[in-house]
Structure 1
Amino acid sequence: MNEVTNREVLMQSKRRRTFAIISHPDAGKTTLTEKLLLYAGAVSEAGAVKARGSRRRATSDWMAMEQERGISITSTALQFTYKDHVINLLDTPGHRDFSEDTYRVLSAADSAVMVLDTAKGIEAQTLKLFQVCRSRNMPIITFLNKFDRPGKEPIELLDEIEKEIGLIPAPLTWPVGIPGDFKGVVDRRDGNFIRYSRTARGATEAKEEILDPQRASIEEGKYFEQAMEECDLLNGTGANYDSDLFLSGIQTPVFVGSALTNFGVRMLLEAVIELSPSPSARPDYQEVPRPLASPFSGFVFKVQANMDPSHRDHIAFVRVCSGKFERGMNLVHQPSLKPFRTKYAASVFGSERDTIDEAYPGDVIGLVNASDLQIGDTLFEKDEVKYPPIASFAPELFAKVRAKDTGRYKQFKKVIVQLEREGTIQLLYDLKAEGDPIAAAVGEMQFEVLAHRMQAEFGAEIEMTRTPHKLARVTDIDTANLLAGVGGNKVMRRNDGTYLALFESPYWLQRIQGDHPDWKLDTIVAGTTQT
């Protein structure tokens, strides 16, 4: 690239903020996503995609099954502008059954917003999601949501964050009032009080009245005085924001509000811009950082079919890591090293997309009909680069899967492989390539999504029969041959060539490891293989 283009790439990169939103189910993640879009002017009314009977649907929940159940099952990429910044918001599934998809999305984000329900705090079933984020040393901003309803005391929630996740909380706003009788927040940075006001159905921006401490003390009385005493206590314990600790993934700035009624949303959005990092040089698989101004490169973190059912499309989501993307440019696909043409490139907004002509580091581009691309693949223009692969999680549930209508077996085989490439499930095959494949999943809901999509999107109804296996370990062909003579296990192969030994119970695994400590039986934990 020439000097002008280099300068342009660096300037545009500084404008970008690419972050993911993570939470447990029903914490208000999808609602918060909608309200961030509202405040940025990306939608005129929260939940603006309307269905028959004026029933509102979330912009980010585009799949039919998501709209039916009111939960996020897939991840979604949304781009919008706010105050001369370009925001790339990556919405993630809220259920622990889809923690593998969340991990893939986090690989494409530079920071995260963690949403907690003040009534529930950190729940055991989704602690895994937060730990995955924490394991990447990713900067995390915390939003204590639903403070307009009865719930836990904020001090208790701060203790949970520190004890359960290992993050040091640093509140930047602090509630005035109690959960369920919410008056507003104190901004600890300037001491001002921002008064809480409801909006009709939360469909429009909430009005914010800012009062200085003296006036707030007169008008809010004991609630404000109590909040100020708690702020003094926080000051005394050193719970103050430190940019270096935040960017190192050690400390989390905390904001309080209510996404449903829009309170605190603007402050959170501005914190993403002011506190979160812009894109930086991303290390390749040899841990060598690739400068932002290098020729274009990016990696595939998500593949999705049928976002537009009428066109049976196939989109690969690519995080731009370096250089300037221009539609139509010729790229090289890693690992095949074959040329790849980018004629059909789009920016994605929920289920909608617009043709995109250019993109910069931090942006997410959708490459349409890119059926040859898989999760973890790298694309580059010049100066060959390969980014680290995105590892799979260890499956915990297993089921034989076959076509209900044998006459549609060809369709079944084609479609189920496609869904595997999307990361919907993992497929395991007998070493002799005999019989039906085994679908492997991290959680139960993945099987439900598999069955639903096979029938609803492709007309290929399936039957699943659960197997007795409870856990899996990565192995090799030598150990696979040795395991053939031992009970309680079955060795299968993934399409990527990985051998997995499935065990019916921890007893069989522990017995074999005790008798044969030299056999290869490695654990997959949060995307890394450990012996």
Structure 2
Amino acid sequence: MSSTATVNTATSLPQEVARRRTFAIISHPDAGKTTLTEKLLMYGGAIRSAGTVKGKKSNQFATSDWMEVEKQRGISVASSVMQFEHEGCVINLLDTPGHQDFSEDTYRVLTAVDAALMVIDAAKGVEAQTIKLLEVCRLRKTPVITFINKMDREVRDPLELIDEIEDILKLDCAPVTWPVGMGKQFAGVYDLHRHQMLKFTPGDNTADSEVEVLDGEDHPYLVEHFPIAHATFKEEVEIVREAASPFDHQAFLAGDLSPVFFGSAINNFGVRDILQALVSWAPSPRPREARQREVLPDEADFTGIVFKIQANMNPLHRDRIAFLRICSGEYRQGLRATHLRSGKSIKLDHAITFMAQERSHLSEAYAGDIIGIPNHGRLRIGDVITQGETLKLEGIPHFSPEIFRVARLNDPLRAKQLNKALQELGEEGTIQVFEPLEKTGMVLGAVGQLQFETVAHRLLTEYKIDASFDSVPVHKALWVSSADAAAMKRFLQSNASRLARDAAGALAFMAPNRSVLQLTIEKWPEIEFHSTREVGAT
């Protein structure tokens, strides 16, 4: 894939920033998120035909699912970054894991985007993971576009779905299209803004076919072929026009209102409308909060933050890529900046852009873009790189894990390789790794069991290490800090057997059970115990 970031040298920084659109796709598992990602890439001209999450039967895989374990299981377990150009805009699309066990990766991605596309299964409505992700979007006032998917199946009443989104997610809905029928009686959607009916025809997995447009709500085709669905549609549209919120762009940008589209991603239906909405309505890069001040995207000085580390995207080279969101200024090949955590100068000489695991080198990029920095352990999640003054960009959180295990090698001679591999996987955020101060062996922490299965698979396929996981007597890991250095020294001496450092070197108390945790908190009032840690803070 050739770079999409090369531009006329006469183009100004503000113009380049204005044409960026950076968004994440979020959903509960199996809502159709990865399928929709494929179709957006297809209609955006980035790929010729869409893969499928059912690809393990056909040897055709989703572009965003590049890891071997994803191809085998048909799920997304790592966020992917894809960049393409459409209608004069540079689109940075981030596909995120839908499975709740990988929620931390999704939370980090949501700190790097300016908008979100929420996919909802029309048969299931609002689900648990969707609620959690919307809470993160709400905290950041991230604008959200809603796509209600799978209308070609027997699904729930669309009015009921809109009510559920508004009631549970506390998000006003402004329908832009409205379905006519569902399942075998799905005739298409009516564009409430253009007053046109878009006729549904099952897709042929290409972007070449044109959607047939029928003018007006009472087109003879609808009345003749879908009389019952048409009559229901007329009643629903009347209710929508009277009761639903009208689309307001400022309310959308403030994160208070979501435009809603209906369709069927698997059949390529409704995808063009989503892509057009992202280009027309989604914001260009927004200012970034720092502790010192607000960082504007069109400032001349380059500023970026690392929000993800990924190892072994290219198994042939055992590479490590730091994903960096450019917050201000522009990247030029050979750019020199300061790595704030170390205080050292860093040269960014080989940045890359992505189409999932496919990548190409680029000579320039701008605020809003996501670039990859080849990294050999120097960069960590949360690191800030800047040409300007020292700026502490607001954080990317780590959450206290809920399940703890220790790795057990089937070949004891691979212990050194195992420790190195786990350290790398911990630095990229695949799993949390804690090394006890007394060197009794690394403890792994995760949100869910699937993370351990993924780690085991990656250890075997990427590092050639055969390992399984055993339970360990850890109930909770809380990070500790204190403004009282003497108290912290006493705490370290008294609790060395229950203290560990995570992959970034931050100190954590490993409580064996709830009682010990409570007693320790009461006994050491000078020590602060934290269930979250801002990435980059040690």
TM-score (normalizing by structure 2): 0.89
- Taking the aligned partners of 2:117 and 2:80, their CA distance within structure 1 comes to 15
Distance in 1 (alpha carbons) for counterparts of 2:220 and 2:514: 60
Q: 1:208, 1:470 → 2: CA distance?
A: 56
Which sits farther off after the overlay, 390-399 or 279-288? 279-288
- Measure the CA separation in 2 of the matches of 1:251 and 1:475: 39
C-alpha distance in 1 between matches for 2:56 and 2:180: 40
Cα deviation per residue 1:10-54 (whole Å; 9 max; x = unaligned)?
A: 101111100000111111111101101111111111129999995
How far off is 1:357 after superposition?
A: 1.0
1:402 touches 1:436 (CA, 8 Å); kept in 2? Answer: no
SS in 1 for 2:16: helix
CA distance in 1, matches of 2:464, 2:312: 13
Structure 1 residues 385 and 405 mapped into 2: Cα distance closer, same or farther (>3 Å)? Answer: same
Say if 1:249 and 1:92 are closer, same or farther in 2 by CA, change over 3 A. Answer: same
Report Cα offsets for 1:189-222 as digits up to 9, x if no partner: 132211111123x344553122222552663344
Amino acid of the structure 1 residue aligned with 2:434: L
Query: Structure 1 residues 242, 345: closer, same or farther in 2, change over 3 A?
Result: same
Distance 1:145 1:214, change over 3 A: closer
Change (3 A) 1:373 1:170: same
Which residue of the other structure, out of 178, 186, 201, is the alignment partner of 2:182? 178
State the Cα deviation string for residues 74-107 of structure 1 (Å, max 9, x = none). Answer: 1111011111111110010111111100011111
Residue of structure 2 in register with 1:460 after alignment: 465
CA distance in 1 between partners of 2:467 and 2:137 (Å): 34
Q: CA deviation at 1:526?
A: 10
The RMSD of aligned alpha carbons is 2.9
SS of the aligned residue for 2:219 comes to helix
Identity rate, percent: 41
Residue type of the alignment partner of 2:323: F
Aligned-pair CA distance for 1:270? 0.3
Q: Contact 1:151/1:180 (CA < 8 Å) preserved in 2?
A: no
Partner of 1:274: 280
Relative distance call for 1:259 and 1:52 in structure 2 (3 A) is closer
Deviations 1:289-342 (A, max 9, x none): 334232112111111111111111111111111112111222221211212222
Partner in structure 2 of residue 45 of structure 1: 49
Aligned to 2:429: 423
Give runs of aligned pairs for residues 46-445 of structure 1, distance below 5 A.
Answer: 46-47=50-51, 55-125=59-129, 127-200=131-204, 202-213=205-216, 215-216=218-219, 219-220=222-223, 221-430=227-436, 432-445=437-450
2:18 pairs with one of 14, 39, 60 = 14
Q: In the aligned structure 2, how far is the partner of 1:528 from the partner of 1:414? A: 21
Q: Determine helix, strand or coil for the equivalent of 1:93.
A: coil
* CA–CA separation in structure 2 for the residues paired with 1:146 and 1:51: 19
Matches within 5 A, 1:509-520: 509=517, 520=528
Instruction: Give the Cα separation in 2 of the matches to 1:121 and 1:187.
Output: 22
1:514 Cα offset (Å): 7.3
Whether the 8 Å contact between 1:194 and 1:210 is mirrored in structure 2 is yes
Q: Distance in 2 between matches of 1:84 and 1:180?
A: 37
Alpha-carbon distance in 2 for matches of 1:460, 1:29: 32
Greater mean alpha carbon deviation, residues 392-401 or residues 49-58: 49-58
- Tell me whether 511-520 or 88-97 shows the greater mean CA deviation: 511-520
Give the TM-score of the pair, scaled to structure 1: 0.90
The aligned counterpart of 2:480 is 475
Q: Deviations over 1:435-480 (max 9, x none)?
A: 1011111111111111111121011222422124343333337479
The superposition leaves residues 108-127 of structure 1 with CA deviations (integer Å, 9 ceiling, x where unpaired) of 11000011111111222553
Partner secondary structure for residue 198 of structure 1: coil
Residues of 2 paired with 1:51 and 1:168: CA distance? 37
Structure 2 gap segments, 5+ residues each: 1-7
> In the comparison of the two structures, how many residue pairs are matched?
522
Task: Give the CA deviation at 1:503.
Answer: 4.0
Aligned letter for 1:266? Answer: R
Which of 503, 522, 527 is the equivalent residue of 2:530?
522
How far apart are 1:247 and its partner, in Å?
Answer: 0.9
- Name the CA shift for 1:515/1:53 in 2 (closer, same or farther; >3 Å): closer
- Among 483, 496, 501, the alignment partner of 2:504 is 496
Inter-partner Cα distance in structure 1 for 2:491 and 2:387 = 45
Report the counterpart of residue 5 of structure 2 in structure 1.
none
Match of 2:266, SS state, is coil
Distance 1:49 1:137, change over 3 A: closer
Measure the CA separation in 1 of the matches of 2:56 and 2:150. 29
Q: Deviations over 1:346-367 (max 9, x none)?
A: 1111111111111111111111
Q: Aligned partners of 1:375 and 1:131: how far apart in 2?
A: 22
CA deviation after TM superposition for structure 1 residue 229, in Å: 2.5
